[in-house]
Structure 1
Amino acid sequence: MRILVLGGTAWLGRAIATAHLAAGHDVTCVARGSDVPHGAALVRVDRDEGATALAREAALEGSWDEVVDVTSVPSHATAAATVLAPRARHWTLVSTISVYRDADRPGADESARILEPSEDPHDYGRAKVRIEEIVRAALGDRLLVVRPGLIVGPGDPTDRYGSWAARAALAGDAPLLVPARDVAAQVIDVRDLAAAIVELGARGVVGVRDAVGPVSTLRSLVDEIRAAAGHAGAVVEATDAELERLDVQPWGGPRSLALWLPPAAAGLGARSNAALLADGVRLRSTAETARDVVVDERARGLDRARASGLTRADEVAVLAALAHDAVDG
């Protein structure tokens, strides 16, 4: 198969290109960067330049069995659809579960209401809705929209899952901070997501699929991570009020207990993946992902600067403040 990956140099895009290569396909990546997987052809394009930049590349001429786009910029989607849609047998658009309007409804599936669209790429969920509109208008019944939930695995640049692995490994026999309010949580390994995109694309599957893992809880995922990291210390619970007072944030970003969803977003950790599984997609166990992520985090440096999560030093300070409050109380 002749495959065009719009991206291919980072995280999911690179994983998709790698999986297509492993399947024996002829892969071309279109990107500004240069770090494409070995064996893939690279066409250097700044997609901010629009359709003209894509149209002038002779390497992009001819027909494509599969086009995969991961963009979150509506103007990029418009340019790609204009130039490439007429020559694509099948197109896979990687969207997001952030397109859904009601984030507080566990068990929802692909039929749930979505947000109003926006051309603003900084309004992530609404921009993805607009991209879906653009590509659907150009591709019609040749389009598969994949809406992933939280993507995890080795190499994750967001650190939302990996920060837990690093803290558990650093803690050793010392305490580990967790929220007292447990929440539903589901993750999908980047390798499984990439493999699913390759398989569904090769079979010409169309429609919409929520690409999410099995519903679990944050505490269960953390316990798997602790086991993989060999954490033997105590688990210290903190209430919402205590965490707020000590400036510990939910979900992601600096100084956060990553993956911990606020009540208003409870449904984002408990969506249905029935349609995906009905397609025969296989998902590895979250325990296997935990083991691989711990290995990866050790290799990349447990105490490195991160995009998300408490540092171990901040965690120790929070634990000390909680202990002091308990004595005073």
Structure 2
Amino acid sequence: MTRAAVLGAGSWGTAFAKVLADAGTEVTIWARRPEVATALSSEHRNHFYLPDIPLPPLAATHDPAEALAGADLVVLAVPSQSLRANLADWRGFIEPDATLLSLAKGIETGTLLRMSEVIAEVTGAGADRVAVLSGPNLAREIALCQPAATVVACTDTARSVAVQHACATGYFRPYTNTDVIGCEIGGACKNVIALACGIASGMGLGDNTLASIITRGLAEIIRLGVALGAEPATLAGLAGVGDLVATCASPLSRNRTFGRVLGEGGSMAAAQAATHGQVAEGVKSCSSIRALAAKYAVEMPLTDAVHRICHEGLPVPEAVGNLLGRRMKPE
């Protein structure tokens, strides 16, 4: 690939633009706020999300048409629930055969569509042009060039390999896969389980509890993924277990941080403030994932509990009691 446009200058969009630049790919990053674009292009800093990390020289703009002109790789790095509206504004500027790579991790509210499905519906692109990237990819660690691996999934293997080469560096190792469904379900659901882990941590619960939540959360993710057509092996890999462990265990995780505040007895507003205005995707996705599970008759008790805590006012101790009081059964 010769030129990439990264649409979204949050922490992960900025970190991934750095990865692309470090891999030798020409990259332009679009920022919603003009002052962010100015700082990125003139100072090589993102003062809002990664203020202390120097970035390589990056072209940056507030104009989506300028960012997208001639780009054969379009990286979509905006929150999942705003992807549709943004794409509707951008689709006229996207090159006809460009690969569309989603970094967003969520299930769309209302439609219950995965992000690749939203992209295809809004742009008219065939499924073979849409790729997703998912793995244990905490933005700050990657921006610091700490070693990490990821998965690029696309039904067109040649496109996934092209993306793989466009973002491979000495510290960032991408693998390819054709299981788009598995990568997306793993990426969306792990945010909800991370909220549960954060809640448990905020309550002062220990590692046995966290390990139990992660393991039973993985069981929920696999059940839903398989019902939708995912490969179980994908969910045992980087886009499943890898992403799940990183998001559930790290204090850098916005979803874990949000949940921790709730577990400490804080309000939804306090939890949002603790994430410094950044989006904790699991807060909205827990409801759409719960609805998707109901559509496919998949049991997801942890996801249900998180939804009820966040959106129905269920007290955290009562949610824990409900989970522990469920009927006994084989693993």
User: Could you state the TM-score of these two structures normalised by the residue count of structure 2?
Assistant: 0.43
Instruction: Indicate the structure with greater helix content.
Output: 2
User: Could you state the TM-score of these two structures normalised by the residue count of structure 1?
Assistant: 0.43
Higher relative contact order (CA 8 A, sep 6+): 1
